[in-house]
Structures are given as C-alpha cells and as structure tokens.
Structure 1
Amino acid sequence: MSALAYDGTAMLARQLRRVRNNPGLAILTQTMPITMLLFFGYVFGSALAMPGKEYRAFLVPGLLVATAANGIMTGMFQAAQDSHRGVMDRFRSLPMSRAAVPLGQAAADLVVTAAGTVPLLLVGLAVGWRIEGSALRATGAVGLLLLFRFATTWVGIFLGLLSRSEEAAGQLGSATFMLPLLSNAYIPTGNLPHWLRVIAEWNPISAVTTALRDLFGNAPVPQGAAWPVAHPVAGALAWSVAIIAVFLPMAVRRYAHGHR
C-alpha cells in the first residue's frame, strides 16, 4: 500500500471517529433536508402551478443536490476547526503524506453523506416521489450526486484552511444556503427574468439537479436552456471534475504551507 493510501486511510478513520463522537452536526445536516422536503413539498406545492405530489417528485432531486452542495459548509467548518485548534500543525510535524489529511476528511464526508442520503430517499418515496428510470440510470444518478458532494467538499476544505478564524468560517459557510436558491433545485427556471435564468442555469447545482431528474425519470430535460442544463449529465460531470481539478490541489497546497 502506498504512503498516501495508508496515511489517507488513517485520516479517514480519524474523521469517522470524529463524526461518531460528535454526531450533532451530522444529524442536523441530514435532518434539515427532510424538514425542507416536508415544508416545501406541502406548502410551496400548493402555491405553484404543479400539483402537490408532482412538485414533491420535482423537489426531491433538488434537495438531494442542495444537500450535496452543503459539502462546502461542512468541509469549511471542519477544516477551519482543525486548522485553528492546532490539530493540523501536529499532523504537519508527522512523517506522512501532505495530501492524506484533506483527503481523509473528504473521503469521510463522502461516507457520511452516502449513509445520510438513504433517509431522505425513503421520506421522498413516502411523500410520492418515485424512481421512474432504470436501476442502472438511478445508480448513475446516485454516483453523480456523490461525485458532486466530493467536489464541493474540496471547495469547503480550501476555504476553511484559508479562513482567519472558526467564526469567520462558520459565517461564510452559512451563507452557502443561498446557492440552491439561485438554481432550479426548488423551482423551474423557465419563467425567471432572462438575466436571472442565465445565472441559475450556469449554477453547477442546476446541471446536477437536472441530471438527477433525468436519470431518475422525474422530469424531461428543458429545451432552450444553457448548455450545462440542456446536456445535464455531461454538464454535471464537467462541473464536478473541474471543481475537483481546481480546488483539490489548492487545498493540499494550502494545508502543506499552513498559515504562511
């Protein structure tokens, strides 16, 4: 086993123990989407043109992706906490791969997210959402969702390492709740003003959400949309790979250099 794989596995185990010993954040981040599904599904569903059950089927993929986008918030908070409490300074003093610590955090977040997705899917099924596509396409949708979560976690890790304090990281992380609001996660974008529709359709969340709706068979791909939404699977893959390609090396470099 290579040094990176060995050290990364050790850091993965450390992060999972951290979640087990402090489950409050994990519980909050996993129960919030369920609360939003019940609230939005039964309140907004009666206010939109879509019937309630149809809107809930439309909403579930959007909430899955909005939860994946929260990787920015959780990654930022955990990285900032370790950085400003001296944990990462101690890790840097050890003879281990510089990529192992952030990689372990990202991998542990992925494991926790995969487990936490199951309750949201079950509640979605209970309120009327269904997988209309094939099992293979549904599996692809879940894989795409986890890839996007992995990508957003690297954004959060980099920003957390860049932050000046835990409090600043928490405040900035909380602001990320705006990102799904500027997308098609909760509402169709067809009737938005042109300038706002352009912003929403080039939001990575919109591409991933549309890809999940297409793969699950919940809604057709909208016509006349921007390229990432008109070609949602390719767009979601392109966004996720691009985010990882940019932020993974930046996060590793920032960790290696510390606060200098």
Structure 2
Amino acid sequence: MNYKNIKVENRENYAVIEIANNKNNSLDQETLKEIAYAAKSLNKIKKIRCIGLTGNSKFFSPGADIKELKNLNSKQAKKNKLFSFVDQLDKINIPIISFVDGYALGGGFELALSTDIIIASVDAKFGLPEVNLGLIPGIGGTQKLKKFTSNQNIKYLAMSGDIISSETAMKYGIVSLIVKKENFKTFTNEFLHRISSKPRKSLEIIKKLVNSEISQKKGITLERKEFYNLLDSENKIIGIESFLSKIKPNWK
C-alpha cells in the first residue's frame, strides 16, 4: 500500500508509524485504514518486536474528521463499519506504544487507548469532547478507559468534554510515563529500542496474558503454562547464558 496519511519507518528491531496527514492528523477512514494495514504488515515481519505510534508536536490526533462526520448518517456508518479499522489493532501480537506530544482528543485519544502503553510529553493533552458535538465516543472510549480508571472519572471525561493534562492522565493510570518535551523524540527512539531488545516471543506472551479477559485463576494457570513452555525454549538458554557471561543476548 502507498501511504498518503501516515509515514512508516523501520529501525533495527522496531518500527514507527507516524500520523501525518494534511488534516492536522484528523482520523478519517483512509487514515485509520492505513494505520491498521501498516500495523498488520509490520506484525508479519519477524525481526520487528514493537511498534511506536506517533503524531506531531501539536497533534497526536484531534480525533475524527468533523467534515466526514457532518455528512455521515447511521446507515452509512453501519455499512462502512465506521472506525472498525481500530479494532484490528487488537489482533497485533507485538506491543504497540503510543507517544503523545500535543493533543489526543476524541478518536485520537481512543486510538491511543487501543495500544499497549501510552507515553506522553509534559505538554500532552487528552479528552473526549464528542459530547460537545451532540455525540458520544465511538471508538471504545467509554469501555477501554475501564481498564485504567474509575467509572466516575470516565463519566467526568465523557460528560464534560474537558481536556486533561498528561499529569492528570497519569494520575488516572492512563499514561505510564511523562517526558520533557525537548527530550521527547530522543526518548521515543530510546524506549522503543529498549523494548525491542527483548525477545519477541516473551513480549507477545506478556501482551496476550495481560489482555486476556478471563478470571485471575484461569489467568494464573495460563501464565504458568506459558512459563513452563518457555523453559524449553532456545531463548531461555540464550538469555541465561548471556546474563551469566554479561553479554548482549542475540534472541531467536
């Protein structure tokens, strides 16, 4: 696919998808389609162990394309399965990490919530302003936020349409790390490099286990099963020998 709305760059064992359309990174159907296609394509490359999702210093993404929504009715949305491309990110085995510098609003915020880790700059802003348009979040915002924060906080965000700081988002458990703006691009590459230095199989299993919607008892049983399986893996031998020899592991 020839990308018109995003930029994709492979760097050693990780890749970066940058939202870069001429609509201030608004999420129209074509942009979402390209993000999903790029993520699925990168997931198939065995040397790629994680994916970074970024925007620019002003907008990670302000959300859905308002002009596209203006002329859209219910019948068209159902027929076109509006926003369904975001659901495809759930099928990506490797970690996807959102790096938010600037505004992540509405669908842009929900897109970040669809990834595995959110890292923000000091200046990043988050919000669900759909209520101001007579709408509600449509990419899973009211549901995906349940993994991070209280129902009361979700209602506050979705009902008020207020925009919160990265510091507040971190207090809510949404953001994992806050980075100084001047160091943000450097940190993005350093963090992706650090995650991509881990064995892909372990990263995939951790993601699967954490995302599994099963009881704790079943989850522990599944975790133990995966741990036992890895005891016979080549990567376990490589990891332990490298640790004891104090050398960098060359994962399979």
TM-score (norm 1): 0.28
> 1 or 2, which has the higher helix percentage?
1
> 1 or 2, which has the higher strand percentage?
2
TM-score (norm 2): 0.28
